[in-house]
Amino acid sequence: MMKREKVLIESSEVIAKDTVEMVLYSMYISDVAKPGQFIHIAVEGHTLRRPISIATVDRERETITILFKIDGSGTKQLAEYSVGKELDVIGPLGNGFPVNERDGSTILLIGGGIGVPPLYNLGKLLVKEGFNVKSILGFQTGASVFYEDYFKQLGETYVVTNDGSYGHQGFVTDVMSEVGDFDTYYSCGPIPMLKAIKERLPEKHGFLSLEERMGCGVGACYACVVKTRDEQGYKKICHDGPVFTSQEVIL
Amino acid sequence: MSIDLSVELPGLHLKNPVMPASGCFGFGREYSRFYDLSKLGAVIMKAATKEARLGNNTPRVAETSSGMLNAIGLQNPGVHKIIEEEVPFLASYDTSIIANIAGSSIEEYELVARTFNETENVHALELNISCPNVKEGGIQFGTDLNMAAKVTERVKLASRLPVYVKLSPNVSNIVEMAKAVEAAGADGLSMINTLTGMQIHLPSKRPLLANRTGGLSGPAIKPVAIRMIYEVSQHVSIPIIGMGGIETAEDVLEFLLAGASAVAVGTANFQNPFACPDIIDALPATLATYGFDSVQDAIGKGVLSL
């Protein structure tokens, strides 16, 4: 259940171009958070909170790790907050990635840019439960790459950069033919990437985690909706998602 | 000294003057997970139209200095579903329920108003003639004196409930508009709706909102709301529910002094899900600090006589 919590910044570090990794101490959120959920962070002087997905959870140390890209005044200010500061957070929000695959299945994780972090938490869980995990991580350029080593510990990992300055050149879809067979995929990243994946893998069972500009973050304001194929015609990303099956959403 | 927070308005016996604003609180379910909605003076539900509406494309929100722009586009499940599924949920709490109604024609407004006659649990209507984010209806009724008067008159005839007309600030003379809807039979006013605005997204060099324009809300518009309520309250005798950037109990007192009899809290709910109960808890001390022993006592006290 979501709660409004005060969480303490334990560490904050720039780990790639404009990308900050922040570890937050929260007994409650670290205890209940599931892979794919996010927190909604208040930034002083800003009307709206910033929704940021949870990258990892450490239940022993009672911490959660978030990664965000400095991409505007809110995230810039958040990046400037120092260790020891208390953040006003609502979370955990949304429904995480559902995991109900057959034992021994091979799972492909496909992350793009700042969509990579939530897949790490999921990947760790999948490996722990005995699944084979492969990953494709896409970034704009070599300087933006992060968590490559972490994903390599989970399994075979392909890194792609749009400008070819690191790893394979191109888009995540360009290396799909190299990864071999898999049963299910989980993906998070910009909408054009998710759209390309959906078109490339029409027959595969897949889950997409969507990003959108949010208002309340709890389902009340209808700002972050996605069109769906069901009778209702839409779902709220913050409340019904952010993870959806690739078949149900119209991107 | 105990401070009396209650307010009596047409159709509404409010235990306190604070209610969440339409469109910022859905139908209450989400915020009921944070606190007991019985704490609220009333709840103004998200706009109801005849049929379900899917709203605009995304992005639908953009942050601004001290505020935000939204262009949701009146997304709602339609009046019948609201009466069947949402009103009973809210009715389980000890609070008044106000239904916000919208439409793209006078006939649609009438039909939605009439449909709310079917439920015992709605206590007043808020007539939304000021939504800036839909192509048809909405604001076109709220910026034309004759249209505003006409839709008010017809909704009054169709409904058995008191009608609060929600005014748009996007007009050159809000006093004339207020007088026109009062003359047409409005039982109260609700003001202000959002101010039309736009934000250009630098990386794409295009309007950020898919709808291009949106409604500006939040603290940025509070002085506009105060000024308009101050002006209107001197020229009408019907009560005003004030709104526009309220975040604190001090803000509420400012609205009361300008002539509002109750207030609605909108955008503040997004930053602080406990905005309404926090304000309600702080209100008695704030009133006392400024020498008032009731909400009633403060209403219009800031208005200098003409």
> Is B25 close to A220, i.e. CB distance below 8 A?
yes
Question: What residue of B is the nearest CA neighbor of A220?
Answer: B26
The tens-digit pLDDT sequence of chain A (251 residues) is 889 999 999 999 999 999 999 999 999 999 999 999 999 999 999 999 999 999 999 999 999 999 999 999 999 999 999 999 999 999 999 999 988 777 779 999 999 999 999 999 999 999 999 999 999 999 999 999 999 999 999 999 999 999 999 999 999 999 999 999 999 999 999 999 999 999 999 989 999 999 999 999 999 999 999 999 998 899 999 999 999 999 999 98
CB B139 within 8 A of CB B132: yes
* Token pair in block for residue B19: 């209610």
Give how far A73 is from chain B: nearest CA, Å: 10
Predicted pLDDT at B135 = 66
CB B74 within 8 A of CB B102: yes
Distance CA B20, CA B44 (A): 6
Question: Which spans in A55-213 are helix H?
Answer: 73-80, 117-128, 148-154, 191-200
Chain A residues inside the 8 Å CB shell of B221: none
> Is A215 close to B70, i.e. CB distance below 8 A?
yes
Predicted pLDDT at B6 = 98
Per-residue pLDDT at B50 exceeds 60: yes
CA distances in angstroms from A63 to A11, A31, B248, listed in the order given:
10, 9, 33
For B133, the domain range is 7-298
A170 in B contact zone (CB under 8 Å): no
CATH of the domain at B92: 3.20.20.70
Per-residue pLDDT at B136 exceeds 70: no
> Is B270 close to A216, i.e. CB distance below 8 A?
yes
Domains of chain A: 3-93 (2.40.30.10), 106-209 (3.40.50.80)
Predicted pLDDT at A20 = 97
pLDDT band at B1 (very low <50, low <70, confident <90, very high): low
ipTM over 0.90: yes
- Classify residue B280: in a domain, yes or no: yes
> Is B60 close to A222, i.e. CB distance below 8 A?
yes
Buried b (16+ CB within 10 A) or exposed e, B230-240: bbbbeebebbb
The per-residue pLDDT of chain B, averaged, comes to: 95
> Is A213 close to B61, i.e. CB distance below 8 A?
yes
Give how far B61 is from chain A: nearest CA, Å: 6
Helix (H) or strand (E) holding A248: none
Question: What residue of B is the nearest CA neighbor of A225?
Answer: B58
Model-level pTM greater than 0.90? yes
Distance CA B82, CA B206 (A): 36
Predicted pLDDT at B142 = 87
* pLDDT tens-digit map of B159-176: 999 999 999 999 999 999
Chain B residues inside the 8 Å CB shell of A47: 63-64, 66-68, 218-219, 267, 270-271
Give how far A52 is from chain B: nearest CA, Å: 15
Domains of chain B: total? 1
Predicted pLDDT at A101 = 72
Distance CA B112, CA B50 (A): 6
Give how far B305 is from chain A: nearest CA, Å: 36
Burial class (CB in 10 A: 0-12, 13-18, 19+), B303: middle
- Classify residue B303: in a domain, yes or no: no
Per-residue pLDDT at B44 exceeds 90: yes
Predicted pLDDT at B139 = 76
- Classify residue B196: in a domain, yes or no: yes
Predicted pLDDT at A100 = 78
- Classify residue B14: in a domain, yes or no: yes
CB A38 within 8 A of CB A91: yes
- Classify residue B2: in a domain, yes or no: no
Task: Give me the total of CB pairs closer than 8 Å, taking one residue from chain A and one from chain B.
Answer: 95
Of A1, A48, A232, which is closest to B63 when you measure between CB atoms? A48
Give the 3-state secondary structure of residue A196.
helix
Which of A222, A229, A237, A249 to substitute to test the interface with B, most B CBs within 10 Å?
A222
Chain B residues inside the 8 Å CB shell of A239: 30
Which of A39, A221, A234, A238 to substitute to test the interface with B, most B CBs within 10 Å?
A221
> Is A221 close to B72, i.e. CB distance below 8 A?
yes
* pLDDT tens-digit map of B66-84: 999 999 999 999 999 999 9
- Classify residue B306: in a domain, yes or no: no
Give the 3-state secondary structure of residue A123.
helix
Distance CA B132, CA B138 (A): 7
* pLDDT tens-digit map of B224-255: 999 999 999 999 999 999 999 999 999 999 99
- Classify residue B192: in a domain, yes or no: yes
Average pLDDT over residues B40-61: 96
CB B119 within 8 A of CB B60: no
Range with the lowest mean pLDDT among A14-28, B57-71, B125-139, B261-275? B125-139
Of A47, A219, A226, which is closest to B218 when you measure between CB atoms? A47
Per-residue pLDDT at B304 exceeds 90: no
Ramachandran assignment for A165, one of left (phi > 0), alpha (psi -120 to 50 degrees), beta (any other): alpha
End-to-end CA distance of chain B: 34
> Is B60 close to A219, i.e. CB distance below 8 A?
no
B131 is catalytic: yes
β-pairing, A132-139 with A157-161? Answer: parallel
CB B221 within 8 A of CB B245: yes
Per-residue pLDDT at B132 exceeds 80: no
Which of B56, B58, B208, B274 to substitute to test the interface with A, most A CBs within 10 Å?
B58
pLDDT band at B306 (very low <50, low <70, confident <90, very high): low
Predicted pLDDT at A80 = 97
Predicted pLDDT at B305 = 67
Q: State the catalytic residue, choosing from B5, B45, B131, B184.
A: B131
Buried b (16+ CB within 10 A) or exposed e, A171-186: bbbbbbeebeebebbb
Predicted pLDDT at A126 = 94
Distance CA B306, CA B303 (A): 9
> Is B61 close to A223, i.e. CB distance below 8 A?
yes
Chain A residues inside the 8 Å CB shell of B68: 47-48, 215
Task: Estimate the share of chain A in helix, then strand, then coil, as percent rounded to the nearest 5.
Answer: 25, 40, 40
- Classify residue B305: in a domain, yes or no: no
Chain A residues inside the 8 Å CB shell of B271: 42, 47-49
A14 in B contact zone (CB under 8 Å): no
